[in-house]
Amino acid sequence: MQNGDPRILRKTDFARLVGVSAGRVSHMVKDGMPVEPDGRIDVARAKLWIRDNVSSTRSVAQARQLPELPFAAQPDAAAEHVRLAKERADAVALKNAQTRRELVPATEVERAWAGEWRIVRSAILAVPSRLRQIIPHLTIDDIEAIDTELRNTLKELGNGR
């Protein structure tokens, strides 16, 4: 208990002291937080109960309002605040990059690459007939072997190998 804290308080006053709603105090009482026979709350005993029983995932605002309580979440509150600030900054940076067209949707990239690969495939499949014109002494078997090898290579590329 800090110096100046009253020893016994009504629920609403205790709620204000620890930075929660009166309804939350009622829930804590229902969950086992000790109260006096008249329904008032012994501040020291209640703070000890809160320390031992209240979830360590309290909000940052609540953790700041109760610096005298050694909640496990208090050291993490600053880290969580920094993490959330970084996430917000990253989201803004991502939106800005999209606006400047530094980032494009994956579907646009896939569409562009698919078009380029169709052109490459067509050019590769045209190689055997061009070779027949450029090198007339190649036999039909030679041309078919070249065509087969090129098609097999395209098939392997298409299968992600």
pLDDT tens-digit readout, 87-124: 999 999 999 988 898 888 889 999 999 999 999 999 99
What mean pLDDT is predicted for residues 130-138?
A: 93
Chain centroid offset of residue 98 CA? 19
pLDDT tens-digit readout, 50-82: 888 876 555 544 544 545 544 444 446 667 778
Burial (CB < 10 A; 0-12, 13-18, 19+), residue 8, is: middle
Q: For the chain, which residues make up each domain, given as ranges?
A: 8-54, 106-158
d(CA 153, CA 156): 5
- What is this structure's pTM? 0.40
Side chain identity at residue 6, one-letter code:
P
pLDDT tens-digit readout, 136-158: 999 999 999 999 999 999 999 88
